[in-house]
Amino acid sequence: MSSNLEYYKVFYYVGQLGSITLAAEKLCISQPAVSQAIRQLELSVDAKLFIRTSKGVRLTREGELLYSYVKSGLDDIWYGENMLRRMQDLDTGEVRIGASDMTLQFYLLPFLERFHEKYPKVKVTVSNGPTPETLGFLSHGTIDFGVVSSPVDARPEVSVTEVKKIRNIFVAGEQFKHLKGKRLEYGILKELPCIFLEKNTSTRRFMDDYLEKLGIVVEPEFELATSDMIVQFAMRNLGIGCVMSEFAEKEIEAGHLFELEFKQGMPERSFCIITDRKNPMSPAGGRLLELLMEKPEKSMI
């Protein structure tokens, strides 16, 4: 831009109001300052922009052409400033979150409900995926933060905070009732049809790592994408399912499934909030994060 933006602002108001006097009042500057700004702009663009009349000034043909572009540009700038203020005031804006079906359903959803009640005009976008995929979203800056389940293999610049303890359980249907109430060894899983999540999930990774430490490797009959489907398969007696306990809770209470008991309990794991120190967070994202972090269970990093 060859001319000072302030010159264009003065030009805009003189053209809009058709008066140097009124433009000076609008801008809270002197009339000579307005006249000087117009002269400087005319010199810069090498064109006469106004013609004096008995009632004030009017735009020349060159002035009308320039005015149409200046008006559009300044309108965009002022609109952008207004939208930025609204975003910072949470009158508008967007929160981008990464979450799995599990973390969304059993942790995040009540917080999103409260946040929406308080800030109904803020758009909430959830990128759905398992923990490794959510870490990728965070690395590329496509989400403000993520809610994942441990284990979390994160880069050094990622902060990981535990917010809720969870546990994996093995469940089965009526066909396997002979196992009910018995204190089992995990090795028995090698002799039974099993239904697990796919290997790209933290739930599967946690279970596999734990069993491997015990010297047990299980090849499941079924590998499914969601824990809800594992519950459905187990209810149809297709095998022993491994899910987070909340997924099977209702079906266990209803007597459609039962939890297998083992002599050695599988350790608990956690839902965690992940943020990236290198990526800026939107004002709305920061406010939702404050809501989630009101009572964090434990800071890991």
275: domain CATH number is 3.40.190.10
pLDDT at 145 over 90: yes
* 276 and 201 housed in the same domain: no
* 258 and 179 housed in the same domain: yes
**Which residues touch 291 (CB under 8 Å, ≥6 apart)?**
111, 114, 115
pLDDT at 130 over 90: no
Instruction: Give helix then strand counts, H and E, for the chain.
Output: 11, 15
175-184, 255-264, 272-281: the lowest-pLDDT one? 272-281
How many C-beta neighbours within 10 Å does residue 73 have?
14
Query: pLDDT tens digits for 158-193?
Result: 999 999 999 999 999 999 999 999 999 999 999 999
* Domain endpoint, select from 88, 114, 139: 88
Q: Can you give the pLDDT at residue 87?
A: 62
Distance CA 83, CA 86 (A): 5
Q: Can you give the pLDDT at residue 21?
A: 93
pLDDT at 281 over 80: yes
The mean pLDDT value for 6-10 works out to: 92
pLDDT at 82 over 70: no
* 199 and 232 housed in the same domain: yes
* 212 and 257 housed in the same domain: yes
pLDDT at 103 over 60: yes
Q: Which residue has the tokens 């018995």?
A: 182
Rounded to the nearest integer, the mean pLDDT of the chain is: 90
Q: Which residue has the tokens 């459905």?
A: 232
* 137 and 282 housed in the same domain: yes
* Domain endpoint, select from 88, 103, 118: 88
Structural domain for 150, as ranges? 94-165+270-299
The mean pLDDT value for 110-119 works out to: 93
The mean pLDDT value for 247-251 works out to: 96
Distance CA 25, CA 183 (A): 87
The terminus-to-terminus CA distance of the chain in angstroms comes to: 47
* 284 and 160 housed in the same domain: yes
* 219 and 243 housed in the same domain: yes
Burial class (CB within 10 angstroms; exposed 0-12, middle 13-18, buried 19+) of 69: exposed
Say how many domains are in the chain: 3
* 122 and 172 housed in the same domain: no
Distance CA 181, CA 49 (A): 92
Query: pLDDT tens digits for 26-66?
Result: 999 999 999 999 999 999 999 999 999 988 999 999 999 99
The mean pLDDT value for 272-284 works out to: 89
